Amino acid sequence: MIQDNINNIRAWGEDKQLIGPNAKATKHTQYNKLCEEVNELRHELNSDDNEAASMELGDCVVVLIQIAEHIGVSFEECVARTFQKISNRTGRTIDGCFVKDK
Average pLDDT value for residue range 43-67: 97
Cα 12 versus chain centre, distance: 15
pLDDT for 102 beyond 90: no
What local confidence, expressed as pLDDT, does residue 85 receive?
94
| Cα dist from 10 to 28, 46, 55, whole Å | 18, 30, 18
In the chain, what are the domains?
A: 2-100 (1.10.287.1080)
The helix (run of H) or strand (run of E) holding residue 9 is: helix 2-15
pLDDT for 89 beyond 90: yes
CB neighbours of 52 closer than 8 A, spacing ≥ 6?
44
The candidate with the shortest Cα–Cα distance to 34, out of 52, 9, 61, is 61
Mean pLDDT of the chain: 97
